[in-house]
Structure 1
């Protein structure tokens, strides 16, 4: 393990630890039942469609019934161009033989253009030997922390003057900038990455997992945080609501905060912001669930219905076989009877869930099938996307949406609670968010899988967390729920990144960002469409608002966000008197 510094050819400076020998788990494969019974008497055509969607999901190799990539969708926004790793292989290895082994196993598979220092160990066995799996780890408490921002600025200045020479840049930073800063032993790696923005009056109800057995499928159609939104003018540019604000004790207006490039997409509006005072005639309308999010949510429901019918057929087969068993003795008879009763209960639960899902599908396709039916408010304010003023400016990329009176079912509104179910089960949450047993004395799973947003994590704790990882080192696990990747966990890095955005969307600037690394073995923390999502620690304290990510493929190795301790003052300046929506007591 060693401390590594990256300059990314598309504009990121980042620092993290690399774990050089990590094991990965294998995949599971499931069988397929050929014939199915329409046990809940669904519409025959809808029943067959659900079975087809379920089969297509499995054929695509997707295990999660909530995966957003299993359906044909409306046009999506143009993405920043990313390098083709296959065509680039020979180009990169000709100059640096370890280009595809130094960082093998990271979510995006971003190649290494050049690295200083001795070569890292490689497995023997010729060119086809499986490379070691590398994993990025956060950095906390390192002496470089005190000079980190100055170091980043020196690197930026050098890169601005010397573009295109990866080896020259790496050697200069190691031999000059790092050495002069007192860190000559730190090696430097240059990787090929792209930094991207992660953008993707229905009376929406609040989610109630306490009584809802299919909460993860109902969640997209509720006001609970993790809500996906889009501009009505461009429903294919989608993102996620961060949190809700009140605008004063004497004002009933409710504000939703998200990323500006979601509410006010740069391809349509360039770098301009927006301020829409009360009484203006011009309003940029916002809808719940853009084109892809809506189609994906509907498809997930259908896929699950099809899967539940397959499960029911398997359970019915088990009941028939249990009925044919000839018990041998009293104990065996009791075991058969107990298994039969348990299976019959599972059948009833399966049928109940099918009916619940069918009801959700019927309701949302009738009441929210058009974007006009999903209107939730308008853009009250959107910051111009760019750096904050000052030498250490963070990224300003936020917007305020004034919610309409009929956007949500306000009588049952739960406020700022983030749904953390779906991808992460209750039995996993404790191990992921409280990995060190010494931290678990006060552990309680958030009631009903809803994590209450409370307070803010300050800069000092991001740099030096009080929490610990499984090895006892200071580390802060974080969690978020976003449109594209749902609920995911990661690690906040104690060192910020200096991110350069390029002019694909007519944006060109550099700014400091809070950096989130992937949680080992769980894939990317975020993807395009997650912008705006709130990044929280395990206690519900706000770390940052997600703005983008970096990687060389469709997956991101790192996630970027604007630290809330920096962003909050800008929000208060633009929206005087606003405050976090109060905690809602009760269920």
Structure 2
């Protein structure tokens, strides 16, 4: 990042922990950890609720966008967020409008000039204390199956098995372009008539019809004679990642067994009258070794099934594009970017389909669910751990709750908490921002869609890492 550091020394430290380089930020200089061995200060984005700018925010944001285009800034998102040191008290934060730009596209001098104009807009609106930052970020690209049994008694197995099943959060991609991957978000029935058994999966239009490969127009498969546009479970990248996870699990268990066996050999053979602690330790190690061998046996069976039945892309076809909407902005300012994938009954065992339940396990546990989603004791009146870590989708969030949430985060601040399972990042927890963002999509493909979106901030805790809530490949997830 030498091209940034030469002009702006805080390019790395301003948003350290997010992997986001900063071109320039207005306002006071943020503190930096001192000393060559000192740990860097991690900063995390947090949502903003009930701020004074809320009633005029969208008008202000569109004014900012207009000025950015006057400067010919190649921007992709305007996000209003609170930034604080990770783990810091909730009341200590800075309001920053971050403007994402294409890497290497914005020179320091232009960033300074544009930031000055944005500062003027904020000052005229009565909020001179709000800071402005230009950050480099990439454009948001959106790169018979097994049944899912989350009750499997061996720990870790459900998370490895889940990617190869049609459980929500399923990674999918077009058969003809398997490296444009996304995530399935919701199952729907096409008809209330019981004689019509068709089931569809909701995902994004840019997943079903990637902009580089398809024209941006509405498409519907109306007749059986039309050529099918097949969709597969697990594109090339996610299939390889899932198989690698299986192999890593087997390797880790084998290493653990070797370590436990070394300790076991140091314990004398059973003898009458031996110390209770020696007997207990021998049993503990013996049980651990036996359990690990059972896990390896089960995961080897999973690996064998996957390699025999799902290695080719054709073997992972589970449906086809029934309808793909044109990517455009509606009258409400939000993006319309959706597609329906019709499920093939002969490729999915419909009686085993879990329906609209999101697996919130895998890389998260029941303890994580409690610690992140119900962090405060006084906020546990409706607390429960989802059975088998399958969260049933029952309703949608009303707009009022986006502005005035009911639950509390780790800092005991009212926050709208979120969870999702996606192709790339698995299960992650987050906090919904109370102010809208403005984003720009696909200018490189001649579409240039500007839309209103709502950001979900990654959930930083006092002990957890400030991981991303979602990443490339998670599009369409729920």
- In the superposition, the TM-score normalised over structure 2's length comes to 0.85
Please tell me whether the aligned partners of residues 195 and 499 of structure 1 are also in contact (alpha carbons under 8 angstroms). Answer: no
Correspondent of 2:310 among 344, 347, 368: 368
Please tell me whether the aligned partners of residues 267 and 506 of structure 1 are also in contact (alpha carbons under 8 angstroms). Answer: no
2:230 maps to which residue? 285
Q: Are residue 154 (structure 1) and residue 98 (structure 2) matched?
A: no
Superposition map of 1:383-394 within 5 A: 383-388=325-330, 390=331, 392-394=332-334
Secondary structure of 1:150's counterpart equals: helix
Map Cα deviations across residues 381-438 of structure 1 (whole Å, 9 max, x no partner). Answer: 11122322x2x42112111000011221112221111111121122222111112221
CA distance in 1, matches of 2:396, 2:376: 22
How many residues are aligned here? 435
CA distance in 1, matches of 2:191, 2:208: 23
2:79 maps to which residue? none
Please tell me whether the aligned partners of residues 377 and 402 of structure 1 are also in contact (alpha carbons under 8 angstroms). Answer: yes
Superposition map of 1:267-286 within 5 A: 267-286=212-231
Task: Return the offset for 1:104.
Answer: 2.2
2:140 maps to which residue? 196
CA RMSD, Structure 1 to Structure 2 (Å): 2.1
1:242 maps to which residue? 185
Task: Return the offset for 1:291.
Answer: 1.3
Please tell me whether the aligned partners of residues 289 and 374 of structure 1 are also in contact (alpha carbons under 8 angstroms). Answer: yes
Task: Return the offset for 1:464.
Answer: 1.9
Secondary structure of 2:267's counterpart equals: helix
Q: Are residue 114 (structure 1) and residue 24 (structure 2) matched?
A: yes
Secondary structure of 2:197's counterpart equals: coil
2:250 maps to which residue? 305
Query: Measured at CA, do residues 343 and 382 of structure 1 come closer, stay the same or move farther in structure 2, by a change above 3 Å?
Result: same
Query: Measured at CA, do residues 470 and 294 of structure 1 come closer, stay the same or move farther in structure 2, by a change above 3 Å?
Result: closer
Q: Are residue 447 (structure 1) and residue 387 (structure 2) matched?
A: yes
Map Cα deviations across residues 311-333 of structure 1 (whole Å, 9 max, x no partner). Answer: 22222223322235889xx6x62
**Please, which runs of 5 or more residues in structure 1 have no aligned partner?**
1-85, 535-587
Task: Return the offset for 1:218.
Answer: 0.7
Map Cα deviations across residues 228-262 of structure 1 (whole Å, 9 max, x no partner). Answer: 11100101111111010111221210010111111
Please tell me whether the aligned partners of residues 169 and 422 of structure 2 are also in contact (alpha carbons under 8 angstroms). Answer: yes
Query: Measured at CA, do residues 130 and 234 of structure 1 come closer, stay the same or move farther in structure 2, by a change above 3 Å?
Result: same
CA distance in 2, matches of 1:122, 1:287: 47
Please tell me whether the aligned partners of residues 230 and 287 of structure 1 are also in contact (alpha carbons under 8 angstroms). Answer: yes
Please tell me whether the aligned partners of residues 271 and 506 of structure 1 are also in contact (alpha carbons under 8 angstroms). Answer: no
Q: Are residue 185 (structure 1) and residue 129 (structure 2) matched?
A: yes
Task: Return the offset for 1:123.
Answer: 4.2
Correspondent of 1:340 among 275, 282, 304: 282
Query: Measured at CA, do residues 321 and 114 of structure 1 come closer, stay the same or move farther in structure 2, by a change above 3 Å?
Result: same
Which aligned segments of 4 or more residues in structure 1 are displaced greater than 6 angstroms?
none
Secondary structure of 1:489's counterpart equals: strand
Query: Measured at CA, do residues 133 and 296 of structure 1 come closer, stay the same or move farther in structure 2, by a change above 3 Å?
Result: closer
Correspondent of 1:314 among 256, 259, 271: 259
**Is 445-454 or 181-190 further displaced after alignment?**
181-190
Q: Are residue 88 (structure 1) and residue 3 (structure 2) matched?
A: yes
Correspondent of 2:162 among 219, 225, 236: 219
Superposition map of 1:556-567 within 5 A: none
Please tell me whether the aligned partners of residues 204 and 407 of structure 1 are also in contact (alpha carbons under 8 angstroms). Answer: no
**Is 243-252 or 340-349 further displaced after alignment?**
340-349
CA distance in 2, matches of 1:305, 1:358: 8
CA distance in 1, matches of 2:187, 2:317: 17
Task: Return the offset for 1:149.
Answer: 1.0
2:15 maps to which residue? 103
CA distance in 1, matches of 2:356, 2:154: 19
Secondary structure of 1:323's counterpart equals: coil
**Is 303-312 or 114-123 further displaced after alignment?**
114-123
Map Cα deviations across residues 515-559 of structure 1 (whole Å, 9 max, x no partner). Answer: 11112224112221111111xxxxxxxxxxxxxxxxxxxxxxxxx
CA distance in 1, matches of 2:278, 2:15: 53
CA distance in 2, matches of 1:130, 1:414: 45
Please tell me whether the aligned partners of residues 44 and 466 of structure 2 are also in contact (alpha carbons under 8 angstroms). Answer: no
- In the superposition, the TM-score normalised over structure 1's length comes to 0.70
Correspondent of 1:167 among 96, 103, 112: 112
2:344 maps to which residue? 404
Query: Measured at CA, do residues 427 and 301 of structure 1 come closer, stay the same or move farther in structure 2, by a change above 3 Å?
Result: same
CA distance in 2, matches of 1:358, 1:189: 50
**Please, which runs of 5 or more residues in structure 2 have no aligned partner?**
74-109
Query: Measured at CA, do residues 305 and 155 of structure 1 come closer, stay the same or move farther in structure 2, by a change above 3 Å?
Result: same
Secondary structure of 2:383's counterpart equals: coil
Task: Return the offset for 1:128.
Answer: 8.5
CA distance in 1, matches of 2:48, 2:208: 33
Secondary structure of 1:196's counterpart equals: coil
Q: Are residue 428 (structure 1) and residue 368 (structure 2) matched?
A: yes
